Chain A
Amino acid sequence: MKVLMFGWEFPPKIYGGLAVASYGITKGLSLQGDIETTFCMPKPTGEEEGFLKIVNMSQVPVAWRDVQYDQIKDRMVGHTAEDYYRFRDHIYADFNYMQGLDDMGCIGFAGGYPGNLHDEINNFSIIAGVLARSEEFDLIHAHDWLTYPAGVHAKMVSGKPLCIHVHATDFDRSRGKVNPTVYSIEKNGMDHADCIMCVSELTRQTVINQYHQDPAKCVAMHNAVYPLSEEYTNIPSTRNPKEKVVTYLGRITMQKGPEYFIEAAKRVLDRTHNIRFCFAGSGDMMNAMINLAASYGIADRCHFPGFQRGKQVYECYKRSDVFVMPSVSEPFGIAPLEAMQCGCPSIISKQSGCGEILDNVIKVDYWDIDAMADAMYSLCTNDELWKQLSEEGIKEVDRITWEKVGLRIRECYNQLINRGWFNNDEYLNAVKDIK
């Protein structure tokens, strides 16, 4: 089975959660042995893992140039020079009018999320037309709204079934005030898709209700988490029984609900004194949060260590007694799973998709700061509760693997390829044994 996959990020270059999820999904699929994935991304680093074939969209020609093999063979990052010539044979229109073509007839990408994002999305889609003509595949899989136009284009050209993966919607990012351009791109992608994979039931409902999609073609495909590497497992946990640490870790932005964390912290600190609050991460609301903490007079107990990367994240989990994710709207949210891997119990908002597959966490409404404060206090003072959640949490999160996600996605692929359309009820029936 050959899958043409469009994505925007892939490790080792990580901008956000999308890269981690893309990696997990492709890895889970590759474990089945008979799925060949071609992963098309704007600007690979050349250091991606070799279990899948990478196509570098910055080096796919859209205009014919007479280039010599020797000139380009060392410049290729991602795919090879042979691929380049094959792609060149499938240029489908004259794109010489486009600005910014390089000597190979390719359109360059800045990578990441630059200011001219909409142009990049459009270019990405143009190049997808070349790929769809030159590659052989059975199915198209597009990750996140940036690649939906590319997916739709590839479907138009090849007539193969399109599966799109909704990692987030604009309703999550904007608390309801959607950007009409983004919405139209998302809606168009969903309308053309044969199967819409949403990272949680919560997102699935948004897709059904806000984007008016047929529930039968929407499926909740929960993310998973990779087992901790040796290096991270060996980080000693330095929890202090006398002084507890409650941690927030993530972007400090409206979507993540940081102000509810501060409000809850204030309520806890009104009653107790041996708890510290760690506010890790950076974002547009960071200064506002520091001011808020200061105005409540709890700045001495609230700490803002800034953005944490790589190993620092795990050190932070291992040092914390409670992890809190008060997101206002979180399509999935992988952080609580990582905290649980480190034996740190989590409090998450009911508006977080990961809550659908977790039992050993405390779930509260993001606006219910009383409940949140109560849960923080309870975890810091009741050792038995802490132990139960910590131990059972590790066991639970160990059962959530990308391999199982791969099997579930495989089931969707089978339906799409074997008969051309997808039905959620039949899917649920087929995967009920994957636990």
Chain B
Amino acid sequence: MKTICLYFEIHQPVHLKRYRFFDIGTDHYYYDDYENERAITETAERSYIPSLKAMLEMTQMYGKQFKVAFSLSGVAIELLEDYAPEVIELLQELSKTGCVEFLAEPYSHGLSSLANEEVFKEEVLRQCKKIKELFGQTPKVLRNSSLIYSDEIGAQAGEMGFKGMIAEGAKHVLGWKSPHFVYSCAHNPKVSLLLRDYKLSDDISLRFNDSNWSEYPLMSDRYADWIAQLPQEEQVVNIFMELCALGVFQPLSSNILEFLKALPAACKERGIEFATPSEIIGKTKAVAAMDMPEPVSWNDEERDTSCWLGNGMQREAFNKLYQEAGRILACQDRRIKQDWDRIQASNNFRYMTTKPMSVNMIRGFYDSPYDAFTNYMNVLGDFIKRVQDLFPLEVENDELNALYTTIHNQGKEIESREHEIAQLRARLAKLEKAAQKEEPAVKKTPAKKAPAKKAEAKVAAPVEKTEAPKAAPAAKKAPAKKAEPKAAAPAKKVEAKAAPAKKAPAKKAPAKK
């Protein structure tokens, strides 16, 4: 049975205001509130609300036969909460029907996956938390900003515990292969990949209302026929697009929502079902690993990252932005964190592209790529200055990163150590009880207590010792190795001196490695 996986992206950038260089250091508010309100309410009215209402109707009409997936960027959620809460409510209602899956994505809709693993991970987890709060679902499948995917990003998704990712079925990586199968990440076979069928997706999102198109007007029956006529073994059809496609790119007057509403019925007649990404990943095995060493996205004809990082200015802005990642991760200032999310959005880089105008290219209020760059760099200049003011300039970024990871690791380490100590204490208590039972009569109680105290003391000692080599494991590999036999030595002593505490130090030894 063929399966359609329908997915919509919900994202709106926070528009920057005109920010001159003499504002640097005096004005720390970078946004055009009027434009933000206008843009988000207009998009919500023209597209989000009618399409989500239509989908809600569809879940009532078709029940569980209709399935759909969404992903929302964190910045868009914030905008919607502020200006169009109705959209969030509609999504919550949809979520309750059980027909909807929410995917994870970076909070900022930025390019952190290409720059900094730590930032990327933090962002994705933060967005998952937000989704959980709003919709009660924990995302299991990851979608990166603009479907940017590479083997490394896939491997990272696996590390974060995602079962799968969705990506672009770009012709230059697929070659003769079909996007209608589930693939797996080349670096981590546990991460499944769903690849977008750009032809069928663009038929709806780009061409639906194009009267010059040979297939115009497109009807659900014909669309379902195309899917039904695919070869027998091609089972999964991934149709991914922005939610704006319904209503903004293709006006509602084109009856695109009627098309959508009729689609499940037309599919049912032809034995095609709908499923969410995690359902497909759950029941379909990957046929092969998919190599994508270079990042691939769903933007432009090139399907790569050239529309954000194609020219020198874009790369300069990108490098400057992520140079400060260490400081920002370490800081606790909420305003800085929020600005960081907003200025990371990939749209800011898109405005600076010098490529010939492409589909859906909107430059915002900027006249030219140079204008966009100038404005962005002014904002970034002020932002970086604020971040640097938080930490003294002499602190190098590497140092700060090391510091940050140390703090991060220390928390974990303290936790695990406390856990171990509790375990040891319990064991000790047990042994003490056993010893008391064995020799209750004789006066050996004081003799017993002495080795027990010693054991406790010895346990505490190696804990302190191990922390030192752990702080700089890479730089001091040799001393770390040297430290090992030393650390092992007291363990032996404990073994010899106090038989009761025998197992505890033995367990410690592997932890040190």
**From B315, B367, B377, contact of A378 by CB (8 A):** B377
Is B368 an interface position by the 8 A CB rule?
A: yes
User: Does B311 contact A388, Cβ atoms closer than 8 Å?
Assistant: yes
Interface membership of B419, Cβ < 8 A? no
CB < 8 Å: which of B21, B354, B367, B374 contacts A392? B354
B21 close to A378 (CB less than 8 A): yes
| B378 engages A374 (CB within 8 Å) | yes
Interface status of B396 (Cβ within 8 A of chain A): no
Complex Cα distance, B370 from A388, in Å, reads: 9
Among A35-43, A182-190, A379-387, the stretch that binds chain B is: A379-387
Judge whether B20 and A363 touch: CB under 8 Å: no
Interface string of B310-323 (1 = CB under 8 A from A): 01110110000000
Q: Quick one: which of A363, A373, A375, A383 contacts B22, CB cutoff 8 A?
A: A373
Report the Cα distance A146→B141, complex, angstroms. 74
CB neighbours of A362 from chain B (8 A): 368, 370-371, 374
Verify if B373 is at the interface (C-beta below 8 Å from A): yes
Cβ contacts under 8 Å, B22 to chain A: 267, 270-271, 370, 373
Contacts A388-B312, A389-B370, A392-B354 hold; do A373 and B21 have CB atoms under 8 A apart?
yes
CB distance from A315 to the nearest CB of B (A): 26
Provide the bound-state CA to CA distance between A370 and B378, in Å. Answer: 13
Instruction: Provide the A300-321 mask, 1 if CB < 8 A to any CB of B, else 0.
Output: 0000000000000000000000
Please give me the residue from chain A that is nearest to B312 by CB atom: A384
The docked-state distance in angstroms from the alpha carbon of A363 to that of B366 is: 11
Which chain B positions have C-beta within 8 A of A378?
A: 21, 370, 373-374, 377-378
CA distance A362 to B368 in the complex (A): 8
B59 to chain A, nearest CB (A): 49
Residues of B with C-beta under 8 A to A375:
370, 374
Q: Report A's interface with B, CB cutoff 8 A.
A: 267, 270-271, 359, 362-363, 370-371, 373-375, 377-378, 381-385, 387-389, 392
User: Which residues in A have their C-beta under 8 angstroms from that of B315?
Assistant: 384
Tell me whether B313 and A374 are in contact (CB under 8 A).
Answer: no
Q: Which residues of B contact A385 (CB under 8 A)?
A: 313, 316, 370, 373-374, 377
Q: Give the complex CA separation of A156 and B354 in angstroms.
A: 51
Q: Which residues of A contact B370 (CB under 8 A)?
A: 362, 375, 378, 385, 388-389
Prevailing SS type, chain A contact patch: helix
**How many Å lie between the Cα of A378 and that of B24 in the bound state?**
12
Docked Cα-Cα span, A373 to B313, in Å, equals 19
Contact check, A359 vs B368: say whether CB atoms are below 8 A apart.
yes
- Report the bound CA distance from A384 to B316 in whole Å: 7
Quick one: CB contact mask for B369-393 with A, threshold 8 Å, 1 for yes?
0110111011000000000000000
CA–CA, A298 and B332, complex, Å: 42
- Which residues of A sit under 8 angstroms from B20, Cβ to Cβ? 370-371, 373-374
Q: Which of B21, B24, B313, B378 contacts A388 (CB 8 A)?
A: B313
Given the complex of chains A and B, what is the CA–CA distance between A385 and B352 in angstroms?
11
**Interfacial chain A residues near B368, Cβ < 8 Å:** 359, 362-363
C-alpha spacing A378/B375, complex, angstroms: 9
Chain B nearest CB from A19 CB (Å) reads 32
The interface residues of chain A lying within 8 Å CB-to-CB of B373 are 378, 382, 385
User: Known contacts A362-B368, A374-B374, A378-B374; is A384 also within 8 Å of B21 by CB?
Assistant: no
Contacts of B377 in A (CB 8 A): 378, 382, 385
Bound Cα distance A362, B370 (Å): 7
Closest Cβ–Cβ distance, residue B512 to chain A (whole Å): 48
B305: min CB distance to chain A, Å:
17
How far is A371 from B315 in the complex, measured between Cα atoms in Å? 24
> Interface digits, B285-319 against A, CB 8 Å rule (1 contact, 0 not)?
00000000000000000000000000111011000
A381-B21, A382-B377 are known; give 20 further A-B pairs, CB within 8 A.
A267-B22, A271-B22, A271-B24, A359-B368, A363-B368, A370-B20, A370-B22, A373-B21, A374-B20, A375-B374, A378-B21, A378-B374, A378-B377, A382-B373, A383-B316, A385-B373, A385-B374, A387-B312, A388-B311, A388-B370
Q: How distant is the Cα of A54 from the Cα of B21 in the complex, in angstroms?
A: 54
Q: Among B313, B371, B374, find the residue whose CB has the most chain A CB atoms closer than 10 A.
A: B374
Max chain A Cβ within 10 angstroms of own Cβ: one of B24, B312, B368, B373: B312
- Chain A residues within 8 Å of B312, by CB: 384, 387-388
Residue of B nearest to A374 (CB): B20
Closest to B311 in A: A388
The CA-CA distance from A270 to B26 in the complex, in Å, is 14
Bound-complex Cα distance A384 to B20 (A): 18
B21 adjacent to A363 (CB under 8 Å) = no
A377→B23 CA distance, assembly (Å): 12
CA distance A388 to B313 in the complex (A): 7
User: A393 → chain B, closest Cβ, in Å?
Assistant: 11
Q: A270 to chain B: which residues have CB within 8 Å?
A: 22
Task: Kindly state the separation between the CA atoms of A271 and B24 in the bound complex, as whole angstroms.
Answer: 10
B352 CB to closest chain A CB (Å) equals 10
A-B contact pairs, 7 of them (CB 8 A): A267-B22, A359-B368, A362-B371, A362-B374, A363-B368, A382-B373, A383-B316
Complex: chain B residue closest to A392, CB-CB: B354
Query: In the assembled complex, how far is the CB of residue A204 from the closest CB belonging to chain B, in whole angstroms?
Result: 21
- What residues on B are CB-neighbors of A389 within 8 Å? 370
Min CB gap A292→B, angstroms: 20
- Chain A residues closer than 8 Å to B374, beta-carbon distance: 362, 374-375, 378, 382, 385
Whose C-beta in chain A lies nearest to the C-beta of B381? A381
Q: Which 4 A-B pairs have the closest CB atoms?
A: A384-B316, A378-B374, A377-B21, A384-B312
Residues of B contacting A384 in the complex (Cβ-Cβ under 8 angstroms): 312-313, 315-316
Beta-carbon nearest neighbor of A350 in chain B: B367
Which of A359, A377, A392 has most B Cβ within 10 Å? A377
Q: How far is the CA of A371 from the CA of B469 in the complex (A)?
A: 55
CB neighbours (8 Å) of B316 from chain A are 382-385
Q: How far is the CB of B22 from chain A (nearest CB, A)?
A: 6
Nearest Cβ in chain B — how far from A239, in angstroms?
18
Known A-B contacts A385-B370, A385-B373, A388-B311; the reply to A374 vs B354 at CB < 8 A is: no
- Give the complex CA separation of A378 and B368 in angstroms: 14
| Residues of the B chain whose Cβ atoms lie less than 8 Å from the Cβ of A377 | 21
Query: Are A388 and B354 closer than 8 Å at their CB atoms?
Result: yes
List, in ascending order, chain B residues with CB within 8 A of A267's CB.
22
Q: Give every chain A residue within 8 A of B311 (Cβ-Cβ).
A: 388
Question: Nearest Cβ in chain B — how far from A222, in angstroms?
Answer: 19
Distance between A185 CB and nearest chain B CB, rounded to angstroms: 37
Nearest chain B residue, comparing its CB with the CB of A267? B22
In the assembled complex, the Cα of A374 lies from the Cα of B316 at a distance in Å of: 18
Report the nearest A residue to B367, measured CB to CB: A363
A271 touches B21 (CB 8 A): yes
